[in-house]
Amino acid sequence: MAIRIIVDLLLVIGAVFALAGTIGVLKMPDTYSRMQASTCIATLGMLGVALGALLYAIFVMHSAGTAVKVALVAGLILATNPVGSHAIAKGAYKSGIRPEKKMEVDDLGRDLYD
């Protein structure tokens, strides 16, 4: 029974951070801040759900294959998300997308582009 409570707690943590990330993506004022908020979904939102699912698979279902596959999905997302987010941020800056409100410090624009 205790394990079920821990699983529920982890799922709630994941859902709360996913909600925070969604609100951030919907309401943040410029493109790069939205990217920052979307990282929230891919890290603790995903990790909370995946850890809960992992514990559930090990202690309730007693199935090693399921646990390994859940861990694989989590590892895959954790390994690939920063690379993709880096590529999008760099591409967006290179294609000329700038926030409406000018950034206070902008070393990249000063040094490399413009």
Residues 62-81 that bind other proteins (CB under 8 A): 65-66, 68-70, 72-73, 76-78, 80-81
Q: Please choose, from the candidates 83, 28, 21, the residue with its C-alpha nearest in 3D space to the C-alpha of residue 47.
A: 21
In the complex, the smallest distance separating the C-beta of residue 93 from other proteins, rounded to whole angstroms, is 6
- Best CA proximity match to 84, nearest among 31, 42, 47: 42
* Angstrom distance (rounded) from CA 73 to CA 79: 10
Q: C-beta of 64: minimal distance to other proteins in Å?
A: 9
Minimum gap (Å) between residue 2 Cβ and other proteins? 15
Site for other proteins in 10-69 (CB under 8 A): 11, 14-46, 49-50, 53, 56-57, 61, 65-66, 68-69
3-state secondary structure of 94: helix
